[in-house]
Amino acid sequence: DQQVKQNSPSLSVQEGRISILNCDYTNSMFDYFLWYKKYPAEGPTFLISISSIKDKNEDGRFTVFLNKSAKHLSLHIVPSQPGDSAVYFCAATGNGQNFVFGPGTRLSVLP
């Protein structure tokens, strides 16, 4: 059973609008979460993280929200740009060493 779920395999958004990518987890021991971005033929790259002691972390156009009671986190991209088109992976850890990854969401930002 997947411990980290991304229920939307794909998402299309108009350029300039907000992109919201969602992630749910089942393991209550997870206390640190990351988002990775992956372009075709490249490895995933770190985007933004959040610790369980916070409910929001912001970095430029990217904001991650964490709702611990719902075991849910989301990544907001505002405004979305065509260069944001990629696969986004949510990842979680309970020991700071091994991360469990979700299946990914393919974001397409349309010009």
| Minimum distance from residue 14 beta carbon to another protein (Å) | 26
Size of the site for another protein (CB under 8 A): 26
Contacts of 41 (CB under 8 A, 6+ apart): none
In whole angstroms, the minimum distance from the beta carbon of 12 to another protein comes to: 18
How many residues are there in the chain? 111
Options 75, 89, 107, 109; binder of another protein; rule CB under 8 A: 89
**Per-position x/- string for 45-84, each x denoting binding to another protein as judged by CB under 8 A, each - no binding:** xx--x-----------------------------------
Q: Which 3-state string (H, E, C) describes 41-106?
A: CCCCEEEEEEECCCCEEEECCEEEEEECCCCEEEEEECCCCHHHCEEEEEEEECCCCCCEECCCEE
Residues between 12 and 41 with contacts to another protein, criterion CB under 8 A: 32, 34, 36, 41
**Amino acid at the residue 21:** L
Interface segment toward another protein; rule CB under 8 A; list 10-18, 59-67, 70-78, 101-109: 101-109
